[in-house]
Amino acid sequence: MGVGGAATTASTVDGVVRRTATRLPRRVGLRFQDREWTYAELDAGVDRVAAWLLGLGLSRGDRVATYGHNSDAYLLAFLGCARAGLVHVPVNQGLTGDELTYLLTQSGSSVVLTDPNLAGELEEIRARVPVRDVLALRGAPESVLEVARDPALPRTVDVEVDDTDLVQLLYTSGTTARPKGAMMSHRALVHEYASAVQALDIDPDDRLLHALPLYHSAQMHVFLLPGLAVGAVNELVEVPEPEDLLRRIEEDGITSFFAAPTVWVALANASGFAHRDLSGLRKAYYGAAIMPVPVLSRIRERWPDIGFYNCFGQSEIGPLATVLRPEEHVEGRLESCGRPVLFVEARIVDEEGRDVPEGEPGEIVYRSPQLCDGYWDKPEETAAAFRDGWFRSGDMARRDSEGYFTIVDRIKDVINTGGVLVASREVEDVLYRHPAVNEVAVIALPDDTWGEAVTAVVVAGRAVSEEELIGFARERLAGFKTPKRVYLVSDLPRNASGKLLKRVLRERFTATS
């Protein structure tokens, strides 16, 4: 690998960039702030970072964490780890204290690459974690960025990397429990890139805007790496500010953009939308959290000429599992997350693993070369998740006669009220139709009469009473599905990926009820 090193196998993550650099060496592959990288420059930088990491005394299979904001240095760190045979551990830059300590300790990371403004958080926990070195991604003379840009540094990497080797620990979002490190191999991720390119129509003429955090598997593996694989232009944003994103889409000729539903809502409400020319945007992707149908309908009305793609999956499968394409966004199917992508098989099963009839709810399970090899240092959780060659997702879904899947709820979010199961998403979709509701989360709270009470937590855009919202729901839902309680709050807890943290709401309101 690298100049003068062992050969990269055809299906390694770093090989994706190397092959594009061979085909399109002078094409600009990455833009960040005032810096541009051609594919040849990017490939050379990956070589130098890999050689530098190995020069620190790291060995094949060692874990290297990145704790930083979006940047070209962040991407170079990931690809450098891949080329050096190291295991990359992306860390949510919002984690601090005990959460940060847990992830670094559980992964056994021996080196952390970080931004200067985050180094203080690491110093506070340094005595409690096994980290040997804390080094800079950028902003220092010896940093990933400066190493990658120094033509005098060596590019030789004498490490043979196999496509079955681990390349990343993708930690689950921890919406229902402590995060688990999904062990992703080179082979799994490269298969996922092929699925993404095919299902999402990513092509060399695209100009992709990447605004979600790169520690998040969707932004890195569904969009950025597939964009690099085909030779597209990839523009990276450090922080997703709605007005800035609209400006970039217009001025930079962005053709493809992915965001969580919360970001799409913010864009639709931004003042710049009224006068920005977005006619160049052809492909709009949403995912990372369920998009309420009423919200999706409002957004599509404001962007009638743009093709929308609903992307669904989870970290353990790389993360893309199903896609609802633009031509499939039709009346009666807007709740669907689409059909499985190229390298994914999916079924709906009961608790015993038996297929359920079409239209009936059950757990969605996957079989795919995209799947992780299990959870890092968690054999019991791995055994529980993988049964008879199928991965149990934890998502409750239905499948129709044409093969379209609709997610009903996370299994742990289904409410058992008086012995009857209620999907929280169904109640949420009804409440979203109320003009005062900006955001809503429906959860189960302990109840002496019902066992679990359907409870709505609402962020309102104008004054509204709990009684009005309960009455609105009662007119449109069966009595057992109607919220017994409504709490009005200023905001809902989410992780940096945009996923709603219902466990935080359950803990908060169980303690106060």
What is 381-398 written as a DSSP string? HHHHHEETTEEEEEEEEE
For residue 323, the one-letter residue type is V
Distance CA(363)–CA(409), nearest Å, equals 10
Q: What per-residue confidence (pLDDT) applies to 497?
A: 58
Higher-pLDDT residue of 276, 511 = 276
Q: What per-residue confidence (pLDDT) applies to 263?
A: 84
**Is 459 in a helix, a strand, or coil?**
strand
How do residues 390-408 score in pLDDT, each as one tens digit? 999 988 899 999 999 998 8
Lowest mean pLDDT across 14-23, 199-208, 471-480, 504-513: 504-513
Q: What per-residue confidence (pLDDT) applies to 5?
A: 43
Distance CA(347)–CA(442), nearest Å, equals 27
Mean pLDDT of 264-281: 84
Higher-pLDDT residue of 51, 7 = 51
Extract the tokens encoding 336: 């669907």
Mean pLDDT of 268-294: 83
Whole-number average pLDDT of the chain = 91
Higher-pLDDT residue of 300, 206 = 206
Mean pLDDT of 164-183: 85
| Highest mean pLDDT: which range of 75-84, 116-125, 210-219, 281-290 | 75-84
Given pLDDT bands bounded at 50, 70 and 90, which one contains residue 450? Answer: confident
Extract the tokens encoding 321: 């599992």
Q: Alpha carbon 288 to chain centroid distance?
A: 5
Given pLDDT bands bounded at 50, 70 and 90, which one contains residue 289? Answer: low
Q: What per-residue confidence (pLDDT) applies to 316?
A: 96
Q: Quick check: 53 pLDDT over 70?
A: yes
Q: Quick check: 470 pLDDT over 60?
A: yes
Whose structure tokens read 């690099």? 228
Distance CA(451)–CA(399), nearest Å, equals 30
Right CATH number for 414-512 from 2.102.10.10, 2.40.220.10, 3.60.21.10, 3.30.300.30? Answer: 3.30.300.30
Mean pLDDT of 364-368: 97
Q: What per-residue confidence (pLDDT) applies to 6?
A: 42
First and final C-alpha spacing in the chain: 60
Q: What per-residue confidence (pLDDT) applies to 112?
A: 98
Q: What per-residue confidence (pLDDT) applies to 287?
A: 86
From the number of C-beta atoms within 10 Å of its C-beta (0-12, 13-18, 19+), residue 250 rates as: middle
CB 157 within 8 A of CB 47: yes
Higher-pLDDT residue of 294, 430 = 430
Distance CA(301)–CA(343), nearest Å, equals 33
Given pLDDT bands bounded at 50, 70 and 90, which one contains residue 423? Answer: confident
Q: What per-residue confidence (pLDDT) applies to 42?
A: 98
Half-sphere exposure of 170 (CA within 13 A, CB side): 27
Q: Quick check: 65 pLDDT over 70?
A: yes
How do residues 136-161 score in pLDDT, each as one tens digit? 999 999 999 999 999 999 998 989 99
Q: Quick check: 33 pLDDT over 50?
A: yes
Q: Quick check: 417 pLDDT over 70?
A: yes
CB 260 within 8 A of CB 287: yes
For residue 221, the one-letter residue type is H
Lowest mean pLDDT across 266-270, 459-463, 473-477: 266-270
What order do you get walking across the sheet with 28-32 strand by strand?
35-38, 28-32, 233-236, 207-210, 256-259, 283-287, 307-313, 320-324, 339-340
Mean pLDDT of 304-327: 95
Give the angle 464-441-449 at the CA atoms, nearest 5°: 90
Q: Quick check: 301 pLDDT over 70?
A: yes
Given pLDDT bands bounded at 50, 70 and 90, which one contains residue 4? Answer: very low
Residue 328 CB coordination number (10 Å): 17
For residue 26, the one-letter residue type is R
**In which residue ranges of the chain is CATH 3.30.300.30 found?**
414-512
Extract the tokens encoding 400: 């129709």
Q: What per-residue confidence (pLDDT) applies to 297?
A: 81
pTM here?
0.85
Q: What per-residue confidence (pLDDT) applies to 288?
A: 63
**In which residue ranges of the chain is CATH 3.40.50.12780 found?**
29-185
What is the largest distance, in Å, between two alpha-carbon atoms of the chain?
73
How does strand 415-417 pair with strand 35-38? unpaired
Superfamily of domain 29-185: ANL, N-terminal domain (3.40.50.12780)
Quickly list DSSP for 384-436: HHEETTEEEEEEEEEE-TTS-EEEEEEGGG-EEETTEEE-HHHHHHHHTTSTT
Distance CA(285)–CA(258), nearest Å, equals 4
Residue closest to 112 by CA, chosen among 163, 67, 164? 67
Given pLDDT bands bounded at 50, 70 and 90, which one contains residue 3? Answer: very low
Extract the tokens encoding 425: 């998403």
Q: Quick check: 181 pLDDT over 60?
A: yes
Q: Quick check: 503 pLDDT over 90?
A: no
